[in-house]
Amino acid sequence: MYKPGLTIWYNVKSFERSVKYFTEGLGFSLDFKDEDQGIAIVTTNTKDCCIGFAESETVVPVTSSAVFEVEDIDLAFSELKKKGIQFTGDIEVIPGFVKLATFQDPDGHSFELSQTIVD
């Protein structure tokens, strides 16, 4: 029934600002943009997993997190900080499960980095 592919769409104030944040800041690649429509899609590091942005007059930040898996959260945390990503607090650890680092995009939508803890 399903085929590989996942796109998460967000309302944003400026799709250009979001594209800059997700490409230059987080290192994802721009897949598509339409200036007249005020929409864009970036492809994440995971194949067929994309994030879409559509400009909207009213933006309500989404608190449920899209979570990006990383190999080494300490390394990713410091690398992304250098690129201007502002994290909400430090790396949090859920013992025996994951390490998490939370950040918010320019519109206040929540995202996380996650490293699975392997015993």
Q: Which residues of the chain form contacts with another protein (CB under 8 A)?
A: 9-11, 35-39, 52-60
- Cα distances (angstroms) measured from residue 112 to each of 38, 99, 109: 25, 10, 10
Tell me the closest approach of the beta carbon of residue 17 to another protein, in angstroms. 13
d(CA 18, CA 21): 5
* 21 C-beta neighbours (distance < 10 Å), count: 21
* Shortest separation between residue 63's beta carbon and another protein, angstroms: 13
As measured in angstroms, the least distance from the Cβ of 84 to another protein is: 25
**Given the complex with another protein, which of 39 and 91 has the nearer CB atom?**
39
